[in-house]
Structure 1
Amino acid sequence: MADGVRAVVADDSHFMRSVISDILSDGGITVVAQARDGEEAVSAVIEHQPDVVTMDVEMPVMNGIEATERIMVESPTPVLMLSAHTDENADVTFEALDKGAVDFFTKPGGEVSMEMSRLKDQLVEMVSSVAAVDVGATRSRGGTSSDSGAVATTAGGSATGGRETGGSSSQVSYVANPTLVIGSSTGGPKMVEQVMENLPIEADLRVLIIQHMPEGFTGRFAERINTRSDYEVREATDGARIGGGEGLVAAGDQHMEVKNYRNGRLRTKLTQDEPVNSVRPAVDVTMRTAAETIDDPLIGLILTGMGEDGADGIRRIKQAGGKTIAQDEATSAVYGMPKRAVETGCVDAVLPIDDIADGIIDTITTEVT
């Protein structure tokens, strides 16, 4: 997978540049240049035209955010941020994603050289996957979705709103108590945010989000979604309960199970059981337990990401009578998880990112004559 991939490694630490370069080289990736700061990184990208850049967050002269922004303007190239595991770096890392970085990889603490060696296969795989991203094609075309019109809640717990259908105005009614389970990985944070931004609060969804992301970053991720969407979203805690209009982001390094469901409210349980599909939290765990527990309308959504996590979960949701959606290849940063989901034969719709929010709404609305 890594054969032929050319990389620029940017880090202000000579030691870290050497460690990262050695790992990538051992994994079959050619390091064409190293950079000590963001300015050197930009120059190296323009000169060498690499397939991918590993970018440290904090560097002198020009930091990783500024360098990423410059690269996206002057010579668009997939960027993988390398971030220290701190709250401050979590904020900065998400800002880098806003500027165009594809994803991030957390630098280990403690004995760095030993830890990096332990994570070398994961780093090589992620760099290879990020290198394959077309940073121009996967950018959102603005994240707009069609206006579903004014919506009024009815006494029965559903909602109605005007929608243009075939040139004439019709009324739609939302089903009662729908639950949406979203799974994503590489390139996923921006995609999840876009979907959530475009979901109307009147749909009254309960939303469970599983993004492959380390501990310390999922809380910040939940805060971003909470700020940018109409839904009240927070990081999951053991025993957390949500109802309509609320969402939970699976906490880093913990599986999120749906423990019980009653009267439109669900309760979650967090565990540190063995990783599933080599990840924790795993999409399959949440989707499987949701399918087993929730008896109201259920939707499963798989967004961009490498690997096969979520494929079995989609199968379980479909078998339980739920609806299923996968992001299409053209707008996926990495068409791994969606592809595996589609290959199960249990996906109802394959949609570009800009159409997914509407696709979700279509599964939980009916026309009212």
Structure 2
Amino acid sequence: MIVDDSALMRTLIADQLADAVGIEVCGVAKDGYQALEMMKQLQPDIITLDVQMPGMDGLETLDRLLALKPIPVIMVSAMTQLGGDITLDALERGAFDYIAKPTGLAQAESVMRDDLVRKIRTVAGTDFAKVLEIRRTRAETRRQRRSAASVPAKSASSPARNKPVAPIECSYRGIAIGISTGGPPALTSLFESLPAGLPPIVIVQHMPEQFTKAFAKRLNSISQVEVKEAATGDTLTPGCAYIAPGGKHLEIRRQTRDQMRLEVFDGDPVSGHRPSVDVMMRSAAKAFGDACLGLVMTGMGRDGSDGCKAIRAAGGYVLGQNEASSDIYGMNRVAFQEGNVDKQFDLQDAAQTIVRETKRVRRAPVATR
């Protein structure tokens, strides 16, 4: 079922899904009120839901739809800062995934026919009730953790300095994280628990342009780690995390013996994505060598498996999120089955596991003449 206040967008989505084998549009709704009534009558398997609608907005509609039934909802979001913020809220509340609204008819075919169809097919084979339960449990855990904390988290622009610092020697070490579908809620849970003082963290989260800046700001507001959207020329600094911008590749490049910088650039998709986890992780393996800790987490597809292989070949160590705590056991499953993961972890224990395993990776002594 398609829910959108724009008649053009309803037609656009319906037309692109019409030719997809095994997918049938059972109804279209122009607002949240109509969507609730039609859901009761039509009992659709999946819903696409406009983020910004007059009257009952996308978030309220989502809450009321999920209260009726644990149904997979794919948010359709405008490519704006506001659209990105609302979409992240929707994922926290239980939306399965999202797509960005095409900016023109030329882009509509690739976004709707390719991205949307792929995500619909993915959710068709997913136990969404389990996914929703995982997210609600995480959200409740975070609420309890925040209420029990004696000091508030930092604001988006002002870091808090009151959590214990991880006792890790950061010289030469680096952490590379690859993640996709289910990533925003998972990374939110992880970054709320990470201590200050970790080696620099570089992240590829499959996201469209505009969304990554909003997501980096959100993570920064709840974490002891300083989080920003990566930019060319950024110098990797301990205690900081850098998220690849949507639509761009990201590499780590060594400048001097003690200094590494980031390079953001255009290029063809690699492993089906731009940014690509494989691109970033291969550069991390080259830059950090045996002092690199890699993490491959929830997401569909296989992006990241080759990058994990490169990290292990360079002497680094790779962690893979386990099936039980993953929204989508896809990227991490492929990496594990192909022998490119040293150990699996549960998201609930991720922060402690990262601190422990980061201490294990260390650059081999440099031979002196």
Range class of TM-score, shorter chain: 0.7 to 0.9
76, 87, 99: which one pairs with 1:93? Answer: 87
Separation of aligned partners in 2, 1:175 and 1:249 = 23
Offset, 1:217: 1.1
Aligned to 2:130: 137
Say whether the 8 Å CA contact 2:290–2:315 is kept in structure 1: no
Matched, 1:335 2:335: no
- Structure 2 letter corresponding to 1:116: A
C-alpha contact (below 8 Å) 2:296/2:304 kept by paired residues = yes
Give RMSD over aligned pairs: 2.3
Q: TM-score, normalised by structure 2?
A: 0.84
Is 1:187 equivalent to 2:186 in the alignment? Answer: no
For 1:298-327, what per-residue CA distance to the aligned partner results, in whole angstroms no more than 9, with x for missing partners?
111111111111000000111111111112
Cα deviations by residue, 1:62-102 (Å, 9 ceiling, x for unpaired): 11111111122221111111111122211221121222112
Contact 1:84/1:107 (CA < 8 Å) preserved in 2? yes
* Structure 2 residue 347 is the aligned partner of structure 1 residue 349: no
Residue number in structure 2 paired with 1:5: none
C-alpha distance after superposition, 1:249-275 (max 9, x if no partner): 001111110011656643111111221
Identity of aligned residues (%): 38
- Which residue of the partner structure matches residue 167 of structure 1? none
Alpha carbons 1:80, 1:104 under 8 Å: kept:
yes
Structure number with higher strand proportion: 1
Q: Is the 8 A contact 1:243 1:264 kept in 2?
A: no
Partner of residue 254, structure 2: 260
Q: Could you say if the C-alpha distance between residues 71 and 132 of structure 1 is closer, same or farther in structure 2, counting changes exceeding 3 Å?
A: farther
Partner of 1:314: 308
How many residues in Structure 1 have an aligned counterpart in Structure 2? Answer: 333
Correspondent of 1:127 among 120, 125, 143: 120
Secondary structure (helix, strand or coil) at the match of 2:186 reads: helix
Q: Which residue of 2 aligns with 1:57?
A: 51
* Equivalence for 1:118: 110
**Counterpart of 2:26?**
32
Matched residue SS, 1:16: helix
Contact 1:183 1:303 in 2 (8 A): yes
Cα distance between partner residues in 1 of 2:199 and 2:42? 48
Q: Which moved more, 1:314-323 or 1:290-299?
A: 290-299
Summarize the alignment of residues 9-88 of structure 1 with structure 2, pairs less than 5 Å apart. 9-28=2-21, 29-88=23-82
User: Is residue 85–residue 215 contact of structure 2 (8 Å, CA) maintained in 1?
Assistant: no
Partners of 1:175 and 1:74 lie apart in 2 by 51
Aligned to 1:270: 264
Show the counterpart of 1:165. none
1:44 Cα offset (Å): 2.8
> After the TM superposition, which of the residue ranges 190-199 and 249-258 deviates more from structure 2?
190-199
| Aligned residue in 2 for 1:168 | none
Structure 1's 326 and 43: CA in aligned 2 closer, same or farther, altered over 3 A? Answer: farther
Amino acid at match of 1:101: A
Counterpart of 1:45, as a letter, is M
Identify, as 1 or 2, the structure richer in helix.
Answer: 2
Specify which of 269, 272, 280 is matched with residue 274 of structure 2. Answer: 280
Letter in 1 for 2:354: I
Cα distance in structure 2, aligned partners of 1:285 and 1:320: 15
Gaps of 5+ in 2: 146-163, 361-369
Alpha-carbon distance between aligned partners in 2 of 1:197 and 1:264, rounded to the nearest angstrom: 29
Q: Is the 8 A contact 1:133 1:334 kept in 2?
A: yes
Candidates 284, 305, 308, aligned match of 1:290: 284
Please report how far the alpha carbon of residue 353 of structure 1 lies from its aligned counterpart in structure 2 after TM superposition. 2.0
How far residue 246 of structure 1 moved from its aligned partner, in angstroms, is 0.4
Equivalent AA in structure 2 for residue 196 of structure 1: F
Question: Please, which runs of 5 or more residues in structure 1 have no aligned partner?
Answer: 1-7, 148-160, 163-171
1:345 and 1:15 map into 2 onto residues whose CA distance is: 47
